[in-house]
Amino acid sequence: MINGIISVLVVFLLMGTGFYFTRTKKWVQGTSQIFSTVVVQIAAPALAIVSIENRFTPALLKSSLWNLLIVACVMLLMHFLGRLLGNLMNLPKKKKAVFTTTFTFNNSMFIGLPIISIIFGHDGLPYLFTFYLVTITLFWSLGAWTISQASDQVRFRAFSVRRIFSPGLIGVLIGCLLAGFSLKLPLVLETTLTYLGDLCVPLSLLGIGANLSSSLSKGMMKITIDQIVILFGKFVLNPLLIWGAFSLMGVSGLPLKVFIMAASLPCHAQTAILAQFYDVEGEYASNLVSLSTLVSLITIPVYAGILL
């Protein structure tokens, strides 16, 4: 469990680095925008390809279909509830888009991978990857589309197939094709994509820290009702929905425990990067990611104690 908490602390150290260099003006203006562009258009697609190719087999993909469907239904329900709550709170268009996306998606890989591995061992990882596959598929399609529609830039708002098939989703599809047909990329391409994918987490967190610095420079961040709703959705509602859905379908034991733990993780870190990329409340998104990650220092040990 200590290693799980260390994983969360690593997140804050990386964000703190971005925060420090922005606050001390050691980075030129626009650095965080460069980070977000690299992540959205290069690093995230590369990470999706190599992660799925190396961690899924045709048999695992086939056996995971039912679990994939249940997780997808819960995420779509969370997205619907996020939109509904955003309307009820009369959030502005941009904030509502970010609110809905952060309400829906969890940080199931960078925080989830080490924590699930420590708590449940390697036996729990296939179920985490199932959750992760749904997350990255919907995040880079539905999530990216939701935020892009709130952009003031017409080129992002215009509906098109190209806008739905974001670079991240294309990476997911390529990875699924490779895994589904047991294909392997040439070593030189595999190595290149691995290096590019490794940029995803650090650049994302550096960018979040930079955005957080810009936000705090305008005054101390106050906890608002919409942030409280986000925390309730992340750490209470989402795990309860996952528990109810899988229990209703007769799923129990290790798979159920892993899915509940994955559903209780903080906001997807790359929401802030997407928001920055589309110029849609990047600072607000960074605040939500940072706050939920901080709270997870408490909730992760609590859920671990309940599930073990």
**Sequential pLDDT tens for the chain (308 residues):** 565 566 667 777 888 898 899 888 888 888 877 887 888 789 888 888 888 888 778 887 877 888 999 999 999 999 999 999 999 999 999 999 999 999 999 988 767 776 777 778 767 777 888 898 889 889 888 998 899 888 776 554 444 555 556 787 788 889 889 988 999 999 999 999 999 988 887 887 888 788 777 766 665 567 889 999 999 999 999 999 999 999 999 888 888 999 999 999 989 888 888 888 888 888 889 888 888 887 887 888 888 888 87
Q: Say how far apart CA 3 and CA 300 lie, in whole Å.
A: 11
SS3 163: helix
Q: Quick check: is 27 in a domain?
A: no
Nearest CA among 151, 109, 100, 110 for reference residue 277: 151
What is the C-alpha R_g of the chain?
18
Residue 144: give the domain boundaries.
2-22+32-307
Residue 248 confidence (pLDDT): 93
Residue 159 confidence (pLDDT): 42
Domain total for the chain? 1
Q: Quick check: is 97 in a domain?
A: yes
Q: What percent of the chain is predicted at pLDDT more than 70?
A: 88
By CB atoms closer than 10 A (0-12, 13-18, 19+), residue 12 is middle
Beta pairing partners, 106: 267
Q: Quick check: is 273 in a domain?
A: yes
Q: Quick check: is 241 in a domain?
A: yes
Domain with 82 in it: what CATH number?
1.20.1530.20
Q: Say how far apart CA 263 and CA 71 lie, in whole Å.
A: 9
Q: Say how far apart CA 170 and CA 24 lie, in whole Å.
A: 37
Q: Quick check: is 294 in a domain?
A: yes
Please count the CA atoms within 13 angstroms of the CA of 242 that sit on its side-chain side. 27
Q: Quick check: is 55 in a domain?
A: yes
Q: Quick check: is 15 in a domain?
A: yes
Nearest CA among 51, 199, 188 for reference residue 131: 51
